[in-house]
Every structure is written in structure tokens, then in C-alpha cells.
């Protein structure tokens, strides 16, 4: 399953990539990470339709992950589940506004991130009606 990781910070993308690994849980497919550093690249990849889960950095600049999530949920047909990385607990209300499917606070806890991504992968697979193959 292709997992999109959006952040303008290469260090954040690396932390996410390392936390997820090749397979965040035994019962989900192998992961192919697709990294993006710009909002136009995110929308283009989501529009293509082959992303299973999107992880967006709420602190990315100039386009923050919250706004990108809202745009994707409004504009992308069959938008995949979105996980939003937030820097402050007080940002949860904005995460709700963004229509993100899940929220993980920074600093990134690898166990929590992997569990959350695995849950989103399961939901994407169940929506596609295909639990044994990659999306």
C-alpha cells in the first residue's frame, strides 16, 4: 500500500518513514512510502488515486497539513484516510476542522504512529472490499 508522507521538513519525513517501517502491523500489506514536500505534489498524487493513506504535517510551510487535508477531503474523489501530525494538543480542534481521520501529536511516538497508520490501512482496505491485497 502506498503511504504518502507530506512535510517540508526532511527530518519529519524521515521520522515518519522510520516509525512506520515496511509493515506497521502483521495484518496489513507492505508499505511503499511516497514523500512530498509541496502541496501541489500532494494533490497531484492524491488525484492519481493510488495512495492508500496520507500523512500530513500540520506544521508544514507554506501550506500546512491541516489546510491540505481539508482541500483533499473537499476536492479529491475517494480521498484516502488522512493522518495529521500536530505540534500542540490545542491544535486538535483544527484537526477536526481539517476533516482528518486521525491525529498524532509530535514528538512522534513510533509505536503510536505505526498503530494509527495500521488502523487507517485496515479501514482503507475494508472500504475497497479487498483485505488481502495492496491498494
Q: What is the CATH number of the domain that holds 113?
A: 3.40.50.2300
Per-residue model confidence (pLDDT) at position 130 = 52
Q: Give CA separation, 115 vs 23, 28, 57, 71, in Å.
A: 10, 11, 18, 25
Question: Is 35 among the domain residues?
Answer: yes
* Distance in angstroms (rounded) separating the CA atoms of residues 74 and 70: 6
Q: What are phi and psi of 75, to 5 degrees?
A: -115, -25
The answer to whether 97 and 68 are in contact (CB under 8 A) is no
pLDDT at 128: 72
Kindly give the parts of the chain with pLDDT less than 50: 131-135
How far, in Å, CA of 59 to CA of 8, rounded? 9
Residue 16 in domain: yes
Which residue range(s) make up the domain with 121? 2-128
pLDDT, tens digit, 9 for 90 and up, residues 36-64: 999 999 999 999 999 999 999 999 999 99
Number of independent structural domains in the chain: 1
Question: Taking the complete model, does pTM exceed 0.85, yes or no?
Answer: yes
Residue 133: inside a domain: no
Amino acid at each position: 500500500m502506498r503511504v504518502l508522507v507530506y512535510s517540508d521538513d526532511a527530518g519529519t519525513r524521515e521520522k515518519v518513514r522510520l516509525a512506520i517501517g515496511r509493515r506497521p502491523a502483521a495484518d496489513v500489506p507492505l508499505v511503499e512510502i511516497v514523500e512530498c514536500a509541496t502541496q501541489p505534489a500532494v494533490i497531484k498524487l492524491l488525484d492519481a488515486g493510488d495512495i492508500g493513506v496520507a500523512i500530513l504535517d500540520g506544521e508544514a510551510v507554506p501550506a500546512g497539513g491541516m489546510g491540505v487535508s481539508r482541500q483533499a477531503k473537499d476536492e479529491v474523489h475517494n480521498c484516502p484516510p488522512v493522518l495529521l501530525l500536530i505540534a500542540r494538543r490545542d491544535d486538535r480542534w483544527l484537526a477536526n476542522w481539517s476533516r482528518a481521520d486521525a491525529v498524532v501529536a509530535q514528538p512522534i511516538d513510533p509505536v503510536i504512529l505505526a498503530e494509527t497508520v495500521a488502523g487507517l490501512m485496515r479501514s482503507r482496505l475494508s472500504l475497497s472490499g479487498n483485505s488481502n491485497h495492496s491498494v
